[in-house]
Amino acid sequence: MKKKVLILSGGISKERLISLDTGLQVAKELKKNGYIVKISEPDNNLEENIKNFKPTVIFNALHGQFGEDGYIQSVLERYKIPYTHSGVIASSIAMDKEISKKIFLKNKIKTPKFFTYSYDDTTFNIIKKINKKLKFPVVVKPLNEGSSVNVYISDKKNLSKILNILRSYKKVLIEQFIGGREIQVAIMGNKKLGAIELKPKRKFYDYKAKYDSKAKTQHIIPVNLPISKFKQLMHLAYKAHKIIGCKGVTRSDFKFFKGNFYLLEINTQPGMTKLSLVPEIAKYKGISFLNLIKWMLKDASKKK
């Protein structure tokens, strides 16, 4: 019997377009390999689509808020149908940068120093706090967005302007800016899949550098590190994957600076577009895009 796969994509987050691209590319690959596929938005028709289509497994191609923060996972739990990626709690923790960073630190994984800002203080006082705890420049970003959406590098002069831009978030993360090399690591279940280094032409690996082919970010694989350092990097990514309780595939974003690895965040639902990093790492390791997807579908049934 052919497997029926319902692909969830789109959604209402700021990463909607990336999610649609991921969903379409996964669907295309599965269809040409004999799977019965239906794409659904996570809207009011979802229950009807699940009821009528009767999928064997659900591929969660959603990104951002409501898609990888535990919300849709809690909805899917009701249907008792296997779904890809992490479950409710791990998704929720990984998406919240404040909580996940506290867990990293508790488990001796370095992450840039930070504090949160809730718009209940003056910019003057925040500048004093930054000078005391972090030093400029700093990174200012939402607590629960992915794909570097609305992430800014700020100096003292433009801090007020950036905080105003992000005011709709109510609470933001202000983080020490770490220079150095950008390295991303993929974990595939219990397998330390591999790593890739990024050299963006832009100031940092932001949304445009990730998804605009014209940004010409250089992808370097294999990563040029001493064997001992590479093993340390893979161990840290695997450790983060496990302590958060992640399932399936994750991608951890690191900075390598002055001999130290700093974990910025862990992504429980990495992109599956033609510019995405996990498929590129998998390909380098001899795993085709189809086999990567097939593994994820098979792994979905092992969530419990």
CA–CA gap between residue 239 and residue 107 (Å, rounded)? 9
Verify whether residue 271 is a known catalytic residue. Answer: yes
Please confirm, yes or no, whether 152 is among the known catalytic residues.
no
Neighbour order of strands in the sheet with 260-267: 218-220, 191-199, 181-188, 249-257, 260-267
Q: Of residues 9, 13, 147, 148, which has the active-site annotation?
A: 147
Q: Is 147 a catalytic residue?
A: yes
41 counts as catalytic: no
- Catalytic-labelled residue, pool 145, 206, 251, 276: 251
**Catalytic entry in 211, 238, 252, 276:** 211
Among the listed residues 267, 276, 280, 299, the single catalytic one is 267
The answer to whether 91 and 68 are in contact (CB under 8 A) is yes
Candidate list 253, 262, 276, 280, residue with the active-site label: 253
The residue from 96, 265, 280, 299 that is catalytic is 265
Q: Is 213 tagged catalytic?
A: no
Instruction: Reply yes or no on whether 251 is catalytic.
Output: yes
User: For the residues of the chain, what is the DSSP string, one character each?
Assistant: -PPEEEEE---SSTTHHHHHHHHHHHHHHHHTTT-EEEEE-SSTTHHHHHHHH--SEEEE---STTTSSSHHHHHHHTTT--BSS--HHHHHHHH-HHHHHHHHHHTT-----EEEE-S-S-HHHHHHHHHHHT-SSEEEEESS--TTTT-EEE-TTTHHHHHHHTGGGS-EEEEE---SEEEEEEEETTEEEEEEEEE-SSSSS-HHHHH-GGG-PEEESS----HHHHHHHHHHHHHHHHHHT--SEEEEEEEEETTEEEEEEEESS---STT-HHHHHHHHTT--HHHHHHHHHHHHTT--
State the catalytic residue, choosing from 68, 271, 276, 299: 271
Report helix angle 227-244 to 97-106, nearest 10.
120
* Active site positions, annotated: 15, 147, 211, 251, 253, 265, 267, 271
